[in-house]
Amino acid sequence: MIIAIVLVVASLAVLIGGAEFLVRGSSSIAKKAGISPLVIGLTIVAFGTSAPELIVNLFAAYTGAADLAIGNIIGSNIANILLILGIAAIIYPLSIKSSTAWKEIPFALLGVILVFTMGNDILIDGSFNSAISRTDGISLIAIFIIFMFYIFGISKVKGEKGETENIKTYSWAISSLLTTGGLVLLFIGGKILVDNAMILARLAGLSEALIGLTIVAVGTSLPELATSVVAAYHHHDDIAIGNIVGSNILNIFWILGVTSTILQLPFNARVNFDVLVSILATALLFIFLFVGTRKKLDRWQGIFFVILYLVYVAYLVWRS
């Protein structure tokens, strides 16, 4: 037990270090290449920090664990918005671009709505069973390809002066090394933390279902947490926001799409509540951009998000 506690603490240090390297390297690449930091956040950073979700889901597909595959994605998306963006906004209020408010966030909302419609064949079509099928997975991947074309189209839109003038630049070699090394450290730190947190949870007598809905979902989101918190601390709003919104889009359209093409995922109606929470969280993020300071996630909104997440986790504990 002591070894597990030590490893949890050590993994947190690895996560923080990895996030620091990733933010410094990716923001330097964005400035040197004349690419918007938002695009870097939506692509390189989002792909990297979503690696744990991808690995967990590929393993779940290989072993036939459909509930884990769907729960991991939905739980991670909820944690990304309510917990991670909430904490990031508490550290430093986040300014959000018009394109993110009107395009990327609604696109993320479309993703969770599609999970609800694709997964509820019994409710919507009157079928005998509900599942996210292989054809659903192919459709999700096709939409993801369209999204990547959109990202390519905005990749040369430069950030505003105030957004990039405080970014420190390094040589291409060092920038690439920082980015790659940061991604590797995030992956290693996240895996060590999840594995040992699950050991501690089992020793505490928590159920497997509760562990999956909380520790696995939050654990695979730890790279996003570390990256967005560090980005918020350095006032790199676009990377903090792009990382979360990009990860949520990737989680559904790419990771869930790939998973469901490997394995048809039976959809448990009990998960509908969690999907609706994810829809609510994404919709609240959009609405909050027009409440108070426009296109800005203020501290009080971040506090509200974190409280909402704690209420949700408390419900999961009661439900289990």
Q: pLDDT tens string for the chain (320 positions)?
A: 788 778 877 877 787 777 678 777 877 887 777 777 777 777 777 777 676 677 767 776 776 767 777 887 888 899 999 999 999 899 888 888 777 778 889 999 999 999 999 988 888 887 788 889 899 999 999 999 998 888 877 665 555 444 444 567 788 889 889 888 888 887 787 677 667 766 776 777 765 556 656 776 777 677 777 778 878 887 877 778 887 888 899 899 998 999 899 888 888 888 899 999 999 999 999 998 888 777 888 899 999 999 999 999 899 888 76
32: exposed, middle or buried (C-beta count within 10 Å: 0-12, 13-18, 19+)?
middle
How far is Cα of residue 228 from the mean position of the Cα atoms in its chain?
10
Bridge partners (DSSP) of residue 265 are 132
Q: Which amino acid makes up residue 54?
A: L
> How wide is the angle at C-alpha 189 spanned by C-alphas 204 and 194, nearest 5°?
25
Query: What is the model's pTM?
Result: 0.78
Write out the two tokens for 78.
């909820």
What angle do helix axes 222-233 and 2-33 make, rounded to 10 degrees? 50
- Which DSSP letter does residue 292 get? S
**Model pLDDT, residue 162:** 45
Residue 10: CB atoms within 10 A of its CB come to: 14
Tokens standing for residue 276: 């609706």
